[in-house]
A = this chain, B = another copy of it.
Amino acid sequence: MEKISTDAFPLTMHSSEKQETICIFGTGDFGRSLGLKMLQCGYSIVFGSRTPRMSSLLPNGAEVMSYSDAAQKSDIIIIAVHREHYDFLTELTEVLNGKILVDVSNNLKINQYPESNAEYLAQLVPGTHVVKAFNTISAWALQSGALDASRQVFICGNDSKAKQRVMDVVRSLGLTPLDKGSLVAANEIENYPLQLFPMWKFPFYLSAVLCVFFFFYCVIREVIYPYVHEKRDRTFRLPISIPNRVFPIAALTLLALVYLPGVIAAILQLYRGTKYRRFPDWLDHWMLCRKQLGLIALGFAFLHVLYTLVIPIRYYVRWTWNNRTVTQAITKKEDPFSTTTSWLSDSYVALGMLGFFLFVLLGITSLPSVSNTVNWREFRFVQHQGLFRRVVCSDDQNIGASVSASILPVNIQG
């Protein structure tokens, strides 16, 4: 077997000395935080600044000098200035030639500029290897060491060696680099930290509207109406009884909305006679947030289960049961046992529990790490179970009605 040729340029030059120098352009909050973190991890840091004399608050052990002096100290230069001030780099083209420029910038709005900041930088200083990195990491998190959200650092760049060098720096800071490919991916990476649960917005507002509507409907029907007609104070139903009606209805409605867009899409395709035309935007968005709709439905189902299991602990329920028993004892009249009622009540509850169990299973398979281990054949199999579940769960919802509406009142008024 032939000898393995070594790379002409080793991945890490100074693995033994470990005192690699990294240059940071810009002495703002993020640049200082990153510099401090790198110093703590054994790098030596050189800051490049427009006004080196006036830079203050820099971490101990870091040097500050002019841009061109700083750039000569290292072949990895982190550009921690705003995109609007990138222009000064054109004057440094010569000294930057062949160096790795790390673009850490973010924008204020999604797709603020026609091209990504990193691509703009690459055009501005042509002879360099631009790598996008660190933009998803918060300055506050770097300082406080509280990297709870995500240790992932998205990396992209056209030069694979440059990328490797930056990924090694990222790793030595205790973060996890994730190669997202060539510089084309920079746009996506820059938009990432600006998103706030983009797929959750519509399901969230929808479920809020559903809850509010059904809550007020139930309040009118079960609190205000009895008060107006019979002057009875039923407000104690507000904290548990009425929410326990709203939750199952909301869960059922959201679950229906998970399966509805698939049906609409199928009808649309049949009507159009082709599968090769885009769906309208609203349908597209609806189909993309089905998972979120389903998970919110699962949340309501979970609350419904908790609110139902707590029934026998409630003062109101125990008072009702107690009074009924006392009345029976005083009048010496025992209830005969009804097999039919027992069957009905138990079947309702049993189907509800099985439905909830299958729903929880479906929820577990939607965890990213679980769904990644599932292939298409398996996913479709689980989906058919889902269809079965739809039938079962509609009974789960009935229980919402049944437990609070049919079973209890029988005993309460009985």
Binds B, one of A84-92, A218-226, A344-352: A344-352
**Residue from the set A18, A239, A361 with the largest chain B CB neighbour count within 10 Å:** A239
List chain B residues, Cβ under 8 A from A2: 9, 75
Contact assessment for B100 and A357 in the assembled complex, using a CB-CB cutoff below 8 Å: no
**Size category of the binding interface on chain A:** 35 or more
A 178-194 to B, binary, CB cutoff 8 A, 1 in contact else 0: 00111111000000111
B239 with A350: CB separation less than 8 A:
yes
Q: CA–CA, A287 to B5, complex, Å? A: 43
Question: With a CB–CB cut-off of 8 A, which chain B residues contact A329?
Answer: 325-326, 329-330
A297 on the interface (CB 8 Å rule)? no
Could you tell me if B144 and A184 are in contact, using CB atoms closer than 8 angstroms?
A: no
Q: Is A55 an interface residue (CB 8 A)?
A: no
**Which residues of B are found within 8 Å of A338, using beta-carbon distances?**
315
Question: Are A182 and B195 touching (Cβ within 8 A)?
Answer: no
Given A129-B4, A326-B328, A357:B306 Cβ within 8 A: yes
Complex Cα distance, B302 from A305, in Å, reads 13
User: Which of chain B's residues have a CB closer than 8 A to the CB of A381?
Assistant: 196-197
> Which residues of B lie under 8 Å from residue A32 when comparing CB positions?
276
* Chain B residue nearest in CB terms to A313: B311
Which stretch of A45-53, A207-215, A249-257, A362-370 is in the interface?
Answer: A362-370
Q: A172 contacts which of B75, B181, B376 (Cβ < 8 Å)?
A: B181
- Give Cα A161 to B172, complex, Å: 21
CB-based nearest B residue for A157: B11
What are 19 residue pairs bridging A and B, where the CB atoms are less than 8 Å apart in the complex? A3-B98, A4-B75, A4-B165, A6-B161, A32-B276, A138-B376, A144-B279, A145-B287, A148-B379, A160-B164, A167-B181, A196-B377, A240-B349, A302-B360, A309-B310, A312-B312, A321-B322, A325-B325, A368-B373
Q: Is the CB of B181 within 8 A of A378?
A: no
State whether A236 touches B322 (Cβ < 8 A).
Answer: no
Most chain B beta-carbon neighbours within 10 Å: one of A59, A149, A278: A149
